[in-house]
Structure 1
């Protein structure tokens, strides 16, 4: 008789603590009535058919392989080499383009202060020498024309 009472108390407490959504077959008040009204068979029925079954523990997922650090990852290193090659190619193209444009600019706009390497030394014979030593030209540059009395 004591065993039946302990079994009934255990089954009743277990039924009260179980979530209503997890109870199988009947609803919670019906199971409590069965446990209390049918002395030995009620608690056994609850434990066998009404109580939710033990849920299997979820298996832990197989641990994924940790990603390789970048300096050990061959795919990452290959991508870096490809990027370096592309950047080197682009840089060479830019340098070649710059050289070509500078050359074209020099051909179109020669610098008068830099002697043309193909022309040789400047020719002094092209300028006629004046007997006065170029004093008249110097006065014209200054703007006074040599008129000292006009002051």
Structure 2
């Protein structure tokens, strides 16, 4: 078990440092370009990740939020179920009204075409009703 730990611990450290390096913006990588840090982490299996974690990255939080978790902190709102969300319900109502108008237009067009076909055939019901 101890032999496995000797290999798994550096592997976990390398994977963590590699992912951390990839998620770090280029301007926050210190001393070297980010690509160089990736090669150092992957080539020097134990030393590379330790050096990256110790000296390769700015550890202070930049203003404006640079990580995905910081992007969502400022815009966190209370979640509302769709049945209780007035904006969602209004969008459904608007969509239904739009669909109904399209359906009415289609029905009117169908009636017009049917009347036109009846007139062409010259059938007895081809005379339009008097108004």
TM, length-normalised to structure 1: 0.36
Instruction: Report the TM-score, using the length of structure 2 for normalisation.
Output: 0.41
More helix by share: 2
Rg larger for = 1
